[in-house]
Structure 1
Amino acid sequence: MSGEFIYLHGFASSPDSAKAKYIRTCFAQANIKLKIPDLNTGDFSHLTITRQLSQIASEFNHDSTPVTLIGSSLGGLSAAHLGQQYPQVQRLVLLAPAFGFLCHWLPKLGDEAIQRWQKERYLMVYHYGEQKQLPLSYDFVTDASQYKEETLQRPIPTLILHGRDDEVIPIQASHDFAQKRPWVELIELDSDHGLGNVMAEIWQTIRLFCQFP
């Protein structure tokens, strides 16, 4: 299938993550163009899901070119919301998508840290792309809380690949999502949130799903 292919990296990650690089190489070898925008935009501190959505939507051609989004973790959650909002999006590949992100992440921080974050407005978060702690505005939480999975009802072909041993977003989150949506196919993998040990398998699955030669 022709069209545009865009990869959305995860939270506190970058276009230079191991996963993004691997997928970029696979696309290059198949002679298919893949865009991997930097969702940090040089300002991770003011990241919001809303900002990610408008940034990616600005990449779409304003004609009827079909778009396939491949999203990892928080990028997967963003991809799903873009699929709901934009008819150009014709296919989704979600790698360990961060459904229920806040309810999995916030409890790990603990009430005290969350209250302090609210009061001080910024929380130091380890950024894997930059390999250092960076401040993140509390606006991220306020913004993220308005994005509900229940609203994702547009029946577009969706492939979810999720590790059974995911320690960040339990695979149950993807099961719950797929269960009520017959257009979603969930493939369970023997892996964790990083999916690093199953990348070759993931690429083969993407190839079949996208009908690449």
Structure 2
Amino acid sequence: MDKSYIYLHGFASSPKSAKADFLRDRFREKQIDLQIPDLNQGDFYHLTLTRQLQQIESEFNLKSEQKKVIVGSSFGGLTATWLAQRNPSVERLILLAPAFEFLIHVLPLLGNEKLEKWQLERDLSVYHHGEQRDVLLNYHFIEDLSQYSDEQLNRSLPTLIIHGKQDEIIPIEASRNYTASRPWVKLIEVESDHALGNVLPEIWEAIKLNLDE
């Protein structure tokens, strides 16, 4: 039974991001088809974590016995971890600057005034890197995410985290905190920011070693 390899892009990103392209090419060199779904679904406005989980579970039949390896970047990394929690078919995780403690770290970046306005008016203008323009996001994104607690992520499976020490969006402390109580998780700290754009070859070397274990 062949394994499936899946890459989940980050928040306000796309399957055509530089990281996605890089990893798709590297996996192809190993004759592995890295599948990269579009988590925007043509409707970024109604994006939620729940929708992403349901999309991937359905699109890749995660309830089947076929084993899956999921690589997740940022919010895609958080999504990947929840998928593994809910689906035994996920046998390995590779997380790139995963968005643990998302609400704790990202909401303060908006500032109280902008956050209160979003909650009241329901719409927030977000720069979408995939579309290279500002798009709207509904506040239900936050309400939905509030239902999920990182503390519930306790399934033991081989997990590699690669996180930049200079991450300005999700501080490396989030991954350090996550790893501290989960002995099955290996954390590699790199000299980079949230995008990890300057360490892609280093990331690939770590992924290759992880896949060959």
Short-chain TM bin: over 0.9
1:55 corresponds to which residue? 55
Identity of aligned residues (%): 57
Cα deviation for residue 110 of structure 1 reads 1.1
Following the alignment from structure 1 to structure 2, what is the Cα–Cα distance between the partners of residues 174 and 101? Answer: 11
Following the alignment from structure 2 to structure 1, what is the Cα–Cα distance between the partners of residues 178 and 167? Answer: 16
1:42 aligns with 2:42: yes
Following the alignment from structure 1 to structure 2, what is the Cα–Cα distance between the partners of residues 177 and 194? Answer: 20
Deviations 1:93-145 (A, max 9, x none): 00000001111111111111111111111000000000000000000000011
Unpaired runs of 5+ residues, structure 1, are none
1:84 aligns with 2:85: yes
1:195 corresponds to which residue? 196
Following the alignment from structure 1 to structure 2, what is the Cα–Cα distance between the partners of residues 23 and 199? Answer: 9
1:178 corresponds to which residue? 179
Following the alignment from structure 1 to structure 2, what is the Cα–Cα distance between the partners of residues 138 and 84? Answer: 25
Deviations 1:179-198 (A, max 9, x none): 10000000001111010111
Q: Secondary structure at the match of 1:210?
A: helix
Root-mean-square deviation over aligned CA pairs: 1.2
1:149 corresponds to which residue? 150
- Aligned pairs for 1:58-69 within 5 A: 58-61=58-61, 62-69=63-70
Following the alignment from structure 1 to structure 2, what is the Cα–Cα distance between the partners of residues 60 and 210? Answer: 20
1:8 corresponds to which residue? 8
Cα deviation for residue 172 of structure 1 reads 0.5
Per the normalisation by structure 2, the TM-score is 0.97
Per the normalisation by structure 1, the TM-score is 0.97
1:72 aligns with 2:63: no
Following the alignment from structure 2 to structure 1, what is the Cα–Cα distance between the partners of residues 93 and 132? Answer: 29
1:21 aligns with 2:42: no
Q: Secondary structure at the match of 2:212?
A: coil
Deviations 1:15-40 (A, max 9, x none): 01100000001011111011100000
Q: Secondary structure at the match of 2:59?
A: coil
Unpaired runs of 5+ residues, structure 2, are none
1:111 corresponds to which residue? 112
Cα deviation for residue 13 of structure 1 reads 0.3
**Moved beyond 4 Å, runs of 4+:** none
